[in-house]
């Protein structure tokens, strides 16, 4: 257990040193938010109604970008070999890595939510609900993305392969997240949808690291 | 089980396939002939939709076979991962485009049917969305397999992807029951028996059989082709 | 986790060791045993399977056959084997943004096996102490290789698997490496070294990979499935 937290701390420090990459991802998120009113038209009512979905779409596209090289760097520089030969269980190492990545991106998105909501004129009352959907939904996106990233780690860089593989799996999460926000706008109960999102997350948290470890172990040459 | 492992040898399987393909093709043609006659001529028009209900006989069996093919691929993927059956992976690679095109037929004919009945070419209800997701999973699988040069690694990666995507299958099947959808609820396979009269059920089942035989014929043909391609690769590599 | 102290001097061996890649056989029927203090020198042209052999011995590549520690069968993917093992591959496993000291800490966080000895001694041995706070991306190729080899000084594992360890090393570095290997063997460790450079390895058994698999013989060796395919 102590080893896990030590590893987590090291991963955080690694991310902080690599701040330019994470900053680039957040900038990408904001740029999409900025571009969307130009694409849809500046009509305030339209933007207000669409705002939760648009913010989620921007976050989803940013996640696809972030996930594209999740394990590639480690595979390319040989750290993956070290992880496999470690006396710590590989799922534990993977869990630590992913937790660090998810935590940093989640924190950044939660900080960026008020400005994004402001730019799209979203109602302030549903901001907590939107934040809640991100807290439950973003880890789902990253855990699924981690599995697909592990599957494609040894491949030549194919332009949209990861996007194509992940889109069918992301659609349910996206539907649930946005319907939670719609329910909030209509003053209906958000708990059924939150439970669904929570169930997806609860299913993925124990299984994804083990699955990723099994896939990475097989993919060596 | 031993029968399956007997035909794990590619040579034996190809000889079996060569035997089966002509018969399947003839049977499929007959079934299509009978089915289309029953569907387009002999069956009654719907009291609400009139003649447009006849699209059902093309749309529904395509959905059935497309879905069943995915389930067969998922089972083959599991067998390939666990029991390392030599032809399980070949089956998945061969069946994927067939299944994808059947689902595409289902979506297109469904869209053509939806316009006169619902007034819309497409709606984002649970059934249509989950079938679209199924098509995307099929396409994703095809692209994934093409991205791998090493067939062994590709088969493992593809198998895992198929098994994760199999979560979608119950959603497709039960989406009309779990959510209020525009798409009509199940009328054939439901507790209490089918809600269709025999004059409509028979053409539907015959068309289902026809599509099934057609799919079997195509998949066998494609498996033979894939095996020949692989043999060519081995020979090329050995000659270098 | 400190590896268990061996009651008897360690010995490692394999029998009928075989591996294949992409359907063709890389090596087959390999047998050897290493006793305490032994070294195995693996030579061969590029592509003859030296790296694959080392990776298979480390458990990173699936392989057939059996492996033995102290004459007892062991799985090459098991925790026990990994505890007795130190593997230095082609790649340096370095993160460009970390400083030298932070890199060592990161390695130690990833693998508790690397906490058996203090890092300052390791850095001093390879003359990297002065560069403790230098980011890895600013190091030269030789310094990066020396940093990567520091892992050998952090672990107490008896078996070392070294794949081309002397690439990019200058004469001093090579000498240090040879001294390190000699000291390890003297204290009872075992070394399996794959290289096509001239490294001094006295009394080492030689294993030439050129005659394994299909590299030079010309006749291709096919897997069982491929032989089946020929019947089509």
Within an 8 Å CB–CB cutoff, is residue C221 touching chain B? no
pLDDT given for residue A121 in this prediction: 86
Nearest CA in chain C to B14: C232
Per-residue pLDDT averaged across C162-172, rounded? 89
Q: What is the pLDDT of residues A116-152, one digit of tens each?
A: 998 888 888 889 999 999 999 999 999 999 999 898 8
Which of the 8 DSSP states describes residue B41?
Answer: I
The pTM for the full model equals 0.85
ipTM of the complex as predicted: 0.85
User: Residue C218 pLDDT > 50, yes or no?
Assistant: no
pLDDT given for residue A188 in this prediction: 84
User: Residue A98 pLDDT > 70, yes or no?
Assistant: yes
Percent of chain C with pLDDT over 70: 87
- What region, left, alpha or beta, does residue A89 occupy, with left being phi > 0 and alpha being psi -120 to 50 degrees? beta
Name the pLDDT band for C222 (thresholds 50, 70, 90): low
User: Residue C179 pLDDT > 50, yes or no?
Assistant: yes
Q: What is the pLDDT of residues C51-64, one digit of tens each?
A: 888 998 998 888 88
Beta-carbon separation of A167 and B140 below 8 A: yes
Q: How many domains does chain A have?
A: 1
How far is C-alpha B82 from the chain's CA centre? 23
* Chain A nearest CA to C186, separation (Å): 25
Beta-carbon separation of C232 and B227 below 8 A: yes
pLDDT given for residue C3 in this prediction: 39
Reading chain B (240 residues) residue by residue, the pLDDT tens digits are: 677 777 778 888 888 888 889 999 999 999 988 888 888 887 777 777 778 888 888 999 999 999 999 999 999 999 988 887 878 999 999 999 999 999 999 999 999 988 888 888 888 888 888 899 999 999 999 999 998 888 888 888 999 999 999 988 888 888 777 776 777 777 777 666 677 777 888 888 899 999 999 999 999 999 999 999 988 888 887 776
Compare B66 and A73 and report the one with higher pLDDT: B66
User: Residue C6 pLDDT > 60, yes or no?
Assistant: no
Name the pLDDT band for A212 (thresholds 50, 70, 90): very high
Q: What is the pLDDT of residues B103-133, one digit of tens each?
A: 999 999 999 988 888 888 888 888 888 899 9
From chain C, the residues in CB contact with B237 under 8 A are 23-24, 220
3-state SS track over chain A: CHHHHHHHHHHHHHHHHCHHHHHHHHHHHHHHHHHHHHHHCCCHHHHHHHHHHHHHHHHHHHHHHHHCCCCHHHHHHCHHHHHHHCCCCHHHHHHHHHHHHHHHHHHHHHHHHHHHHHHCCCCHHHHHHHHHHHHHHHHHHHHHHHHHHHHCCCCCCCCCHHHHHHHHHHHHHHHHHHHHHHHHHCCCCCHHHHHHHHHHHHHHHHHHHHHHHHHHHHCCC
pLDDT given for residue A27 in this prediction: 92
Which chains does A contact via 3+ CB–CB distances below 8 A? B, C
Who contacts C179 (Cβ-Cβ below 8 Å, separation ≥6)? none
* Chain B nearest CA to A141, separation (Å): 14
- The β-bridge partners of C21 are C24
Residue whose tokens read 């399956």 = B4
Who contacts B101 (Cβ-Cβ below 8 Å, separation ≥6)? none
CA atoms lying within 13 Å on the CB side of residue A184: 25
Nearest CA in chain C to A93: C110
pLDDT given for residue C216 in this prediction: 37
**Boundaries of domain holding A189:** 2-220
Query: Residues of A near B (CB-CB distance < 8 A)?
Result: 147-148, 151-152, 154-156, 158, 161, 164-165, 167-169, 171-172, 175, 211, 215, 218-219, 221
pLDDT given for residue A56 in this prediction: 93
Instruction: Report in angstroms the alpha-carbon separations of B229 from B77, B146, B221, B222, B226.
Output: 20, 13, 12, 10, 5
User: Residue A58 pLDDT > 90, yes or no?
Assistant: yes
Per-residue pLDDT averaged across A193-216, rounded? 91
Percent of chain A with pLDDT over 90: 40
Q: What is the pLDDT of residues C31-81, one digit of tens each?
A: 888 888 888 888 888 777 888 889 989 988 888 888 888 888 888 888 888
pLDDT given for residue C217 in this prediction: 42
pLDDT given for residue C214 in this prediction: 45
pLDDT given for residue A90 in this prediction: 92
* Least confident residue range of A174-178, B218-222, C16-20: C16-20
User: Residue C223 pLDDT > 70, yes or no?
Assistant: no
């Amino acid at each position: 257990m102590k080893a896990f937290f030590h590893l987590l701390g090291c991963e955080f420090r690694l991310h902080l040193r690599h701040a330019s990459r994470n900053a680039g991802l957040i900038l990408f998120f904001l740029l999409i938010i900025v571009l969307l009113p130009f694409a849809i038209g500046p009509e305030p009512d339209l933007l207000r109604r669409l705002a939760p979905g648009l913010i989620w779409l921007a976050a989803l596209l940013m996640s696809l970008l972030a996930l594209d090289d999740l394990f590639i760097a480690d595979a390319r520089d040989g750290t993956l070999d070290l992880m496999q030969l470690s006396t710590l269980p590989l799922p534990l190492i993977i869990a630590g890595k992913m937790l660090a990545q998810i935590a940093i991106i989640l924190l950044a998105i939660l900080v960026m939510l008020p400005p994004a909501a402001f730019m799209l004129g979203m109602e302030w009352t549903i901001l907590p609900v939107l934040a809640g959907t991100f807290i439950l939904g973003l880890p789902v996106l990253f855990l699924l993305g981690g599995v697909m990233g592990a599957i494609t780690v040894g491949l030549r860089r194919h332009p949209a392969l990861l996007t194509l593989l992940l889109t069918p799996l992301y659609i349910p999460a996206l539907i649930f997240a946005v319907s939670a926000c719609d329910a909030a706008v209509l003053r209906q109960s958000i708990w059924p949808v939150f439970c669904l999102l929570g169930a997806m997350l609860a299913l993925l948290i124990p299984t994804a690291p083990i699955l990723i470890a099994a896939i990475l172990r097989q993919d060596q040459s | 089980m031993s029968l399956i492992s007997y035909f794990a040898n590619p040579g034996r399987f190809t000889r079996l396939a060569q035997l089966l393909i002509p018969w399947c093709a003839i049977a499929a043609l007959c079934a299509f002939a009978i089915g289309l006659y029953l569907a387009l001529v002999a069956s009654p028009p719907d009291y609400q939709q009139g003649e447009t209900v006849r699209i059902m006989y093309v749309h529904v069996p395509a959905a059935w076979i497309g879905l069943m093919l995915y389930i067969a691929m998922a089972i083959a993927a599991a067998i390939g991962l666990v029991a390392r059956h030599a032809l399980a992976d070949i089956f998945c690679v061969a069946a994927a485009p067939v299944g994808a095109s059947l689902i595409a037929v289902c979506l297109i004919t469904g869209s053509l049917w939806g316009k006169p009945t619902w007034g819309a070419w497409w709606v984002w209800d649970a059934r249509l969305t989950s079938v679209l997701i199924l098509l995307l999973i099929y396409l994703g699988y095809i692209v994934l397999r093409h991205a791998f040069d090493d067939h062994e690694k590709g088969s493992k990666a593809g198998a895992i992807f198929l098994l994760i995507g199999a979560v979608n299958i119950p959603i497709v099947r039960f989406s009309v029951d779990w959510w209020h959808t525009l798409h009509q609820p199940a009328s054939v396979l439901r507790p209490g028996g089918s809600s269709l009269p025999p004059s409509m059920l028979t053409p539907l089942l015959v068309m289902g059989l026809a599509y099934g035989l057609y799919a079997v014929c195509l998949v066998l043909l494609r498996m033979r082709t894939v095996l020949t391609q692989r043999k060519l690769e081995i020979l090329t590599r050995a000659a270098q | 986790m400190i590896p268990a102290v061996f009651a008897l001097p360690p010995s490692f061996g394999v029998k009928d060791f075989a591996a294949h890649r992409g359907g063709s056989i890389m090596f087959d029927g390999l047998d050897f045993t290493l006793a305490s203090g032994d070294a195995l020198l693996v030579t061969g042209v590029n592509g003859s399977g030296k790296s694959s052999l080392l990776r298979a011995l480390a458990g990173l590549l699936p392989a057939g056959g059996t492996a033995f520690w102290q004459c007892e069968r062991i799985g090459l993917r098991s925790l026990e084997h990994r505890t007795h093992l130190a593997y230095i591959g082609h790649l340096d496993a370095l993160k460009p943004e970390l400083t030298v000291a932070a890199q060592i800490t990161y390695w130690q966080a990833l693998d508790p096996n690397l906490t058996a000895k203090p890092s300052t001694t390791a850095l001093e041995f390879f003359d990297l102490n002065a560069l403790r706070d230098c980011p890895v991306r600013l190091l030269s190729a030789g310094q990066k290789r020396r940093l990567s080899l520091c892992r050998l000084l952090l672990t107490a594992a008896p078996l070392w698997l070294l794949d081309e360890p002397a690439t990019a090393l200058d004469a001093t570095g090579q000498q240090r490496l040879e001294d390190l290997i000699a000291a390890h063997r003297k204290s009872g460790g075992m070394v399996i070294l794959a290289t096509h450079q001239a490294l001094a390895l006295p009394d080492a058994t030689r294993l030439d990979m050129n005659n394994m698999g299909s590299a030079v013989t010309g006749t291709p060796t096919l897997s069982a499935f491929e032989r089946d395919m020929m019947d089509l």
